[in-house]
Structure 1
Amino acid sequence: MWALRRASFPLRNQGYTVRASCVKLIPTTYTEDEAGISEPPEVASYGGFMSLKKFYHSGHASPKFNLSIRELSSQADANSAKEDDGLLQDGFSELETETPAAGDGLENQNLLTSDTYLSDDVEGPQNEVELSDTEIDDSTEKKSRRGRAESEIFKEIINNSTSSISSVLDKWLEEGKELSRQEISLAMLNLRRRKMYGIALQFSEWLESNKQLDFVERDYASRLDLIAKFRGLQKAESYIQTIPESFRGEIIYRTLLANCISQNNLKKAEEIFNKMKDLEFPLTQFVCNQLLLLYKRNDKKKIADVLLVMESENIKPSPFTYKILIDTKGQFNDIAGMDQIVESMKAEGIEPDIGTKSVMVGHYISASLEEKAENLLKEMEGEDLKKNRWVCRLLLPLYADLGKVDEVGRIWKICESNPWIEECLAAIEAWGKLKKIDEAEAVFEMMSKKWKLSSRNFSVLLKVYANHKLVTKGKDLVKRMADSGCRIGPLTWDALVKLHVQAGEVEKADSILQKAIQQRQVKPIFPTYFSILEQYSKNGDVHNSEKIFYGMKQAGYTSRARQYQALIQAYVNAKVPAYGMRDRLRADNIVPNRVLASLLVKVDGFRKNPVSDLLD
């Protein structure tokens, strides 16, 4: 299992001391440049998985941190110097759930890259405890995955959206209709898929108050998950104290942990981990994978620590563990290291699944290794793509990333005579990447004749228009969308905002964002805020840049170097000093990278220059 460890450099040769008894890693040597930014040491491979040569550490000259089997502790300045800001909040190519096998992958593995988990209508992968663990039995989940089943009570709730959920449910019972656990589970799954967390939470509360369900631990975990998503982590943590102690088990805390990580709250996630340790819950694959996700985004040097803990606790890496590590290496453009992890994975008898191969293809493309990318794409196709139809929706955008118009056309031809809706969405995305707007529109029109389109379906084409600055087409599509009665959600807001930003109408984009915030059912996604922040920053509009920056914090998005860089750039462009900015960075646990450090110098109101020296 730990075959790669033999090929790695010993940690002690890299300035680390390892004590097996508590699994502490204490960095001992760092250098600091003139700007006060520590140089990243070369971090050795560890845990048998990888050669992590570029896991950075930022902080003071002699920072210390501990990660042990029994404890996690983060310093205030333990952020990575090289930001992992591709998240959509980012999307994550954050690999937040295991990729399903071919047989059941159509529901959970959405091809729309970063937008996967943020559909307006259908919930994709979430960084949370799998639903089968919290609220639905296996038979319900499998049935739903295969046929996208919808419960009758869910349809009643949707069809009576102007009525309160309690009145809809009361009427359901008055009519003598059954409300079985299976029906409840399926309704909850349907609500979650559409990210209707507020309604799902009301449903759960009604079930308990009307004694329609004997709550067990997974029901309390489901409620906790909904509270964390809809009302925030603080309310969720308070709710735990109201759960009967006999039901306050591991699944409750790992649900909260997963939500902390989903919301990228490093401090709270480590706090919950330590609470689980105090309660003597076992360290599991799930928890370790969640920590890997957390540190992949925030503090990559600690990935090696987690792997060391896994080794010492004899926790085998899962396919998802390898996927995280493969993506991490790819983000550093360490293709050789990425390939080495794949070989180690295969040596353990684990073959990369289609989702993992898709991640690898993306990194090969980014590294301009087109031949390797194409070879892997052919491997993904298999011998008969017609029998492997479900792979088409992954192949279409990847071939588009390679600029292969003929390959996109070839694969779409296989689907065109009897397309699945996910294939159509993939084709629209692919043609959009290739600047083939007419072809993208043709697929969309085919969809509109075949199915009643949702806001998610409209959003894919709207995104194409936004990316290509086709403002008039985009506005016409929005009108058509409104006429069809679609529910507007995060992806639509994002596309609308970007459409107006591209048109130079940042104030209009801002007003759309404010209306979206007021709806409160689902918060706008990270890029929606950030695209407006960037535009205000370019305009040197400090007031509105600060407003959007504050709004992102209010929405629960952790402040990172990327946001601060845009904010400080607004001060630079406005040619005004930014007093107290270093204190704000320190309060948010951010150590400036080189770009931030140079911007801070420019906006330092107390900085002396040659002229001020003469005057003094």
Structure 2
Amino acid sequence: MWALRRTSSSLKLQGLRLATSRAGCVKLETICGQLEVNTNTFETPSAAYTTSLFHRSATMSSKLSTGMRGLSSQVGTETSSSSEDDIDDAFSELEGPEVSTDAVQDKKNTFEGNEDELVSDPDLSDDDFMEESSHDTLGLSDTEADPAEKLLTRKKLTSELFNAIVKDPNSSIEDVLSKWVEEGKELGKQEVTAAILGCRKRRMFGRALQLSEWLEKKDEFDFIERDYASRADLIAKVRGLQSAEKYIDKIPKSFKGELIYRTFLANCVTSSNLKKAEEVFNKMRDLDFELTAFTCNQLLLLYKRLDRKKIADVLLLMEKQNVKPTSFTYKLLIDTKGQANDLTGMEEIAETMKAEGLVPDLTTRAIMVGHYVSGGLREKAESILKEMEAGDLKENRWVCRVLLPLYASLGKSDEVARVWEICKASPRLEECLSAIEAYGKLKQIEKAEAVFDKMEQKYKKISSKHYSTLLKVYANNKMLSKGKDLVRRMGEKGCRVGPLTWDAMVKLYVEAGEVEKADSMLQKAVQQNKMKPMFNSYITIMDQYSKRGDVHNAEKMFVRMRQSGYIARMRQFQSLVQAYVNAKVPAYGIRERMKADNIFPNKALAAQLARVDAFRRTAVSDLLD
């Protein structure tokens, strides 16, 4: 298992340096002592506000913050144990591609009675289903998806009931089911479960929850732990963690096993709720559930974004409990190293991964390419890209959608054209989207538009997710007029405009210098549609107000984020405090506000706070006094 060695400054970790392996086990002789990240960004919270996560291990003495927050969406592929390979009814097992808006938060059901409205585009065909994320889909984002989505990527939907639900979006689930029975069709648990999975894949969580509730009410259907876990997951997604926790408390004790708690843990991670995630983890340890790679990966995922110093504690726990790292574990460590700009360490992790018989998958290699490009190591990036091609691209078409934006990030327009030439005779939807993104990066707008037109001709009914790809190209190139025309075109096509489109429009207006217009547009969209905007949409506008020193509007955006259900995170406070800094006015009570939200400043935020402290003393103030 992992051999972990702490240095004398165990909380000043420097990155992930992996040593050689022996006897088929991972040897990470220097991983803990070398996991240091930028201490300006990740500052250890005051001991007064910390709590021990690994309280069951007498040898674990590290103290972990319970207040830091901030997470968005992630790509991975493993399940935590082979016993789950045959899961039929799936729920939130967060290791896999998550199709989520950026920074899903723990929330109350702000739009009670409009649960289906929380989903922007449920009308996609199976082949058209794409990730909705504000991050680069090739990068390592920060949430993990449930096995429902993984299951549905392996086989086509066959549920007639699901198709009936999609075709009749204006009818309630009760009406659809009543009509189904009137037509003499069988309504068994298997059919309803298949419909739930279909709804999950389309992000129709409100509908899926209604189906699950109907299923549980029927006495003739026996609920097992898997069903309860699925229901708890849907409640967390639609109504928030608090409602899910209340439901879990009501589950019969005989069905309240490890599956229930790890499902809830996964949702805590997705919701960026560090305090609740640590509570759930400790609860699982108190109940003597076996520690799995899945559970550890959840913590690694959370700490990767919130406090990387704690990564070493998770790795040490894995070593002590003989929990073998998975490919996803390595993927997290590789990305963490890359983000710390330790490319040598990143390479060492990749080599150790290979030595353990785990071949880096396409996503992992794409992550490495991205970090090489950022680090200026173009030759190494190109070398990996050639390895990814693995011979004839015509026989490996699935690689094309990954290669297109990566070659574009290197400025290789000839390579982009070469790869697209292989696809364009009969392009797949994902390839079209990647080509649009690639040509946008190369600022070849006409070519991006040509690809979009070709996609629109082939796929008669495309969603707002697909329009948003071109809209982002316009936003990145400050083409406001074309962006507006595209949005009008979406309306004419009867395309539903949701949070992803709003986010692109916000960026479009902001890049054009029309911040107030972006603000009013977003507010109007929320009022008219009763849908939750993306975190990034709010923070983009808030940052602009902060740059101007516009405290009033920065505070207004802060309040709106709370009203939409976004819990306070350090990112909002950084933007808000910067508004006060730029306005050169004191921020009375800001530290108390942060403490109330369990936010503990890192070094950078602490420096900002010092500048807006109304009572700070300087050499000049002392002289004046």
- Which residue number corresponds to residue 87 of structure 2? none
Deviations 1:474-515 (A, max 9, x none): 111111111212222221121122122223333332233334
Specify which of 406, 417, 422 is matched with residue 425 of structure 2. Answer: 417
TM-score (norm 1): 0.83
- CA separation in 2, counterparts of 1:115 and 1:315? 30
* Correspondences of 1:151-550 after superposition (within 5 Å): 151-211=159-219, 213-451=221-459, 452-518=461-527, 523-550=532-559
Asked whether the equivalents of residues 232 and 244 of structure 2 are also in contact (C-alpha less than 8 Å), the reply is: yes
* Corresponding residue for residue 59 of structure 1: 45
Asked whether the equivalents of residues 205 and 238 of structure 2 are also in contact (C-alpha less than 8 Å), the reply is yes
Q: Which moved more, 1:499-508 or 1:480-489?
A: 499-508
Say what the alpha-carbon RMSD is for the aligned residues: 3.2
Tell me how far 1:160 sits from its aligned partner.
2.1
Residue 161 of structure 1 and its aligned partner are, at CA, apart by: 2.0
Distance 2:220 2:408 in 1: 51
What is residue 602 of structure 1 aligned with on the other side? 611
Worse-matched range after superposition: 594-603 or 426-435: 594-603
Distance 1:274 1:199 in 2: 33
Task: Please tell me whether the aligned partners of residues 77 and 586 of structure 1 are also in contact (alpha carbons under 8 angstroms).
Answer: no
Q: Residue 250 of structure 2: SS of its match in structure 1?
A: coil
Tell me, in whole angstroms, the C-alpha distance in 2 between the residues paired with 1:147 and 1:68.
40
The counterpart of 2:582, out of the listed 566, 573, 583, is 573
- 1:73 and 1:270 in contact (8 A); partners too: no
Q: 1:399 to 1:292 in 2, by over 3 A?
A: same
Question: Where does structure 1 lack aligned partners over 5 or more consecutive residues?
Answer: 17-26, 28-39, 100-107
Q: Which residue of 1 aligns with 2:27?
A: 48
Mark the CA change 1:608 to 1:70 in structure 2 (over 3 Å): closer, same or farther.
closer
How far, CA to CA, are the matches of 2:620 and 2:381 in structure 1? 56
Please tell me whether the aligned partners of residues 228 and 259 of structure 1 are also in contact (alpha carbons under 8 angstroms): yes
Structure 2 distance, partners of 1:615, 1:172, is: 82
- Distance in 1 between residues matched to 2:96 and 2:405, nearest whole Å: 14
Partner of 1:105: none
Other structure's SS at 2:415 match = helix
- Corresponding residue SS for 2:288: coil
Q: Which residue, 123, 127, 131 being the options, matches 2:147?
A: 131
AA of the residue aligned to 2:261: Y
What is the CA-CA distance between 1:560 and the residue it aligns to? 3.6
Partner of 2:357: helix, strand, or coil? coil
1:241 match: secondary structure: helix
Paired residue type of 2:502 = W
| Correspondence for 2:82 | none
Q: Does 1:14 align with 2:14?
A: no
Q: 1:148 to 1:469 in 2, by over 3 A?
A: farther
Instruction: Give the secondary structure class of the aligned counterpart of 2:34.
Output: coil
Instruction: Quote the Cα distance in structure 1 between the aligned partners of 2:273 and 2:320.
Output: 26
Q: After superposition, give the CA deviation of every residue in 1:282-316 in whole Å (9 maximum; x if it has no partner).
A: 11111011111011111111111111111111111
Residues 99-138 of structure 1 correspond to what in structure 2 (within 5 A)? 120=121, 122=129, 124=131, 127=143, 130-132=146-148
2:27 maps to a residue whose letter is G
Deviation at 1:98, TM superposition (A): 4.2
CA shift digits 1:59-78 (9 cap, x unpaired): 34899764437369986857
User: 1:204, CA displacement in angstroms?
Assistant: 1.5
Between 49-58 and 531-540, report the one with greater CA deviation.
49-58
Q: Deviations over 1:21-57 (max 9, x none)?
A: xxxxxx6xxxxxxxxxxxx565886883436342445
Contact conserved, 1:263 with 1:557, CA < 8 A, in 2? no
Q: Is the alpha carbon distance of 1:435 and 1:393 closer, same or farther for their aligned partners in structure 2, counting shifts above 3 Å?
A: same
Give distance in 2, aligned partners of 1:553 and 1:559. Answer: 7
Whole-angstrom distance in 2 between the partners of 1:112 and 1:158: 19
Q: Give, in whole Å, the separation in 1 of the partners of 2:103 and 2:220.
A: 34
Q: 2:75 aligns with which of 95, 100, 116?
A: 95
Q: Structure 1: how far apart are the matches of 2:395 and 2:55?
A: 46
Q: TM-score, normalised by structure 2?
A: 0.82
Could you list the per-position Cα deviations for residues 404-462 of structure 1 after superposition, in whole angstroms to 9, with x for gaps in the alignment? 10111100001011111000011011111111110110011001111121111111111
Change (3 A) 1:146 1:255: closer
CA distance in structure 1 between the partners assigned to 2:528 and 2:220 by the alignment: 30
CA contact (8 A) 1:78 1:591 kept: no
Contact 1:76 1:586 in 2 (8 A): no
SS at structure 2 position matched to 1:14: coil
Shift of the alpha carbon at 1:162?
2.1
TM-fit CA distance, 1:213: 4.0
Measure, in 2, the Cα distance between the counterparts of 1:438 and 1:110.
31
Q: Deviations over 1:316-354 (max 9, x none)?
A: 111111111111111101111111111111111111111
Structure 1: distance between partners of 2:381 and 2:121: 31
Segment drifting more, 212-221 vs 516-525: 516-525
Q: CA contact under 8 A between 1:427 and 1:443: conserved in structure 2? A: yes
Q: Does the CA-based 8 Å contact 2:189-2:215 persist in structure 1?
A: no
Distance 1:483 1:215, change over 3 A: farther
Q: 1:556–1:313: structure 2 CA closer, same or farther, 3 Å change rule?
A: farther
Question: 2:480 corresponds to which letter in structure 1?
Answer: V
Confirm or deny: 8 A CA contact 1:266 1:294 kept in the other structure.
Answer: yes
**TM-aligned CA deviation for residue 538 of structure 1:** 2.1
> Which segment drifts farther, 326-335 or 200-209?
200-209
1:154 & 1:487 partners in 2: Cα distance?
20
In structure 2, do the counterparts of structure 1 residues 290 and 387 end up closer, same or farther at CA, with 3 Å as the change threshold? same
Q: 1:123 to 1:251 in 2, by over 3 A?
A: farther
How far apart, CA to CA, are the structure 2 residues paired with 1:152 and 1:580?
A: 57
Q: Describe the shift of the 1:325–1:593 C-alpha distance in structure 2 as closer, same or farther (beyond 3 A).
A: same
Give the Cα separation in 2 of the matches to 1:555 and 1:475.
26
CA drift at 1:609: 4.6
C-alpha displacement of 1:601: 2.6
Provide the secondary structure at the position in 2 that maps to 1:345: helix
**Partner deviation per Cα, 1:199-224 (whole Å, 9 max, x = no partner):** 22122212223457432211211111
Tell me the SS of whatever aligns to 1:68.
coil
Relative contact order, higher structure (CA 8 A, sep 6+): 2
Contact 1:494 1:528 in 2 (8 A): yes
Mean CA deviation greater in 173-182 or 193-202: 173-182
- Does the Cα contact within 8 Å between 2:50 and 2:65 map onto a contact in 1? no
Q: What do residues 530-557 of structure 1 show as CA deviations (whole Å, max 9, x unaligned)?
A: 1111122123222221222233345454
Any stretches of 5+ residues in structure 2 without a counterpart? 19-25, 80-94, 105-118, 123-128, 133-141
1:103 aligns to what? Answer: none
AA matched with 2:385 = L
Q: Distance in 2 between matches of 1:184 and 1:116?
A: 30
Task: Describe the SS at the equivalent of 2:291.
Answer: coil
TM-superposed CA distance for 1:185, in Å, is 3.1
In structure 2, relative to structure 1, the CA distance for the partners of 1:315 and 1:594 (3 Å cut) is: closer
